[in-house]
Structure 1
Amino acid sequence: MAGLYEIWQRAEVWRRLDVLSGFVAMCVARDDHARRRLARLVAGADAALAASPPDLGVASDHLDELVRWADAEWADHPHRPVEARPDEADRQTRDYAKDLRNATLPVRVRDEMGRIELSLEVRFLALCRTAHLDCRARQDIFYLAGRSAMALDLGHLEAAERELRRMEQAGSVETPESCRG
């Protein structure tokens, strides 16, 4: 399996390429020459990203050319996508990275990850609605849910299960009578 850093890099290029190429495609819909240029750039980047090992330099070069083209032609266009804020870019890239990572995993592992992810989401939402939890227990639940999700992102199923169990334990602790309002 490809390294996580390599997957993240590929996902960043792929995400930026998807967003900008969609915008450019809308702008060049009636221009055959421009559509061919766009197709060449996207196909070149896609081929570089799909190569084994991926050629991030070539893919980035195609993306950079697309960015320069969009800057030169449509810099002031009201619908031109802007670069996402760092937190939003990371969230979007995480989704792309999960898709890339999942494509390399055996079906059995993907199914197990999906089961854990669903269990995490259902249990987390149920615990968030629990009335008897104090602020500290809720903080612990959020923290442990994040750790479990991060373990899933890294492909550590045992760690994800362990953090899920810890989250459930944190949610089963009764608030002491002296802390209740």
Structure 2
Amino acid sequence: MAGLYEIWQRAEVSRRLDVLSGFIAMCVAGDNDAQRRFNQLVVGADAALSASPPDLVVASEYLDELVWWAETEWADHPYRPVEARPDEADRQTRDYAKDLRHAALSVRVRDEMGRIELSLEVRFLALCRQPGLGCRIRQDVFYVAGRAAMALDLGHLEAAEREIRRMEQVGSVEPRQSSCG
């Protein structure tokens, strides 16, 4: 399986390519020369991303050309996509990366990850619904649930299960007198 960093980079290029290519496709509709240029750039980027191993340098060069084209031709267009803020870009890239990683895993591993993910969600929601759960403990439950989700994202099933057990331990602690601010 490809390294996680490579999957992340590929997902980042794919995300940006998808967003920008949709916009440019709309802008070049009806202009045969522009459509031809657009198709060459997108096909080149897709081929580089689909290669084994993916050629991220070449794909990024095609993407840079599309970015430059959009910025010079349609700079004032009201629907020209702008780069997402870092947190939003990471959320979108994470979704792409999960899809790429998912495709590289065996059915058995995907099923096991699905089981653990469902377990995490059910147990997390059960803990959050407990009456009288203090603010500090609730924050700790959220934090440890995030660690379990991150372990799943990284493909570490044992670590995810360990964090789920830890989350349950944190959520079962008797609340102490404390204020949360």
In the superposition, the TM-score normalised over structure 1's length comes to 0.93
Aligned-partner Cα distance in 2 for 1:87–1:13: 16
Aligned-partner Cα distance in 2 for 1:168–1:54: 41
Aligned-partner Cα distance in 2 for 1:153–1:147: 10
Contact 1:132 1:174 in 2 (8 A): no
**What's the secondary structure of 1:49's corresponding residue?**
helix
Aligned-partner Cα distance in 2 for 1:28–1:131: 57
Q: Could you tell me how far 1:179 is from its partner in structure 2?
A: 6.1
Aligned-partner Cα distance in 1 for 2:30–2:118: 44
**What's the secondary structure of 1:2's corresponding residue?**
coil
- 2:148 corresponds to: 148
**What's the secondary structure of 1:130's corresponding residue?**
coil
- 1:64 corresponds to: 64
Q: Deviations over 1:69-117 (max 9, x none)?
A: 1111111100111100111111111111111111110011011111111
Aligned-partner Cα distance in 1 for 2:98–2:74: 32
**Which amino acid in structure 1 is aligned with residue 38 of structure 2?**
L
**Which amino acid in structure 1 is aligned with residue 92 of structure 2?**
Q
**Which amino acid in structure 2 is aligned with residue 150 of structure 1?**
M
Aligned-partner Cα distance in 2 for 1:57–1:179: 53
What is the percentage of aligned positions where both structures have the same residue?
80
Aligned-partner Cα distance in 1 for 2:156–2:102: 13
- 2:54 corresponds to: 54
Contact 1:133 1:173 in 2 (8 A): no
**What's the secondary structure of 2:148's corresponding residue?**
helix
**Which amino acid in structure 2 is aligned with residue 154 of structure 1?**
L
Q: Deviations over 1:105-133 (max 9, x none)?
A: 00110111111112212222232222221
| TM-aligned CA distance change 1:32 to 1:166, over 3 Å | same
**Which amino acid in structure 2 is aligned with residue 10 of structure 1?**
R
Aligned-partner Cα distance in 2 for 1:74–1:122: 47
Aligned-partner Cα distance in 2 for 1:168–1:37: 56
- 2:43 corresponds to: 43
- 2:87 corresponds to: 87
Number of equivalenced pairs: 179
Unmatched tracts of structure 2, length 5 or more: none
Aligned-partner Cα distance in 2 for 1:154–1:29: 41
Aligned-partner Cα distance in 2 for 1:164–1:55: 37
Q: Deviations over 1:31-80 (max 9, x none)?
A: 22222222211111111111111111100010011011111111110011
**What's the secondary structure of 2:63's corresponding residue?**
helix
- C-alpha RMSD over aligned residues: 1.5
Aligned-partner Cα distance in 2 for 1:67–1:134: 49
Aligned-partner Cα distance in 1 for 2:132–2:170: 12
| TM-aligned CA distance change 1:167 to 1:27, over 3 Å | same
- 1:13 corresponds to: 13
**What's the secondary structure of 2:97's corresponding residue?**
helix
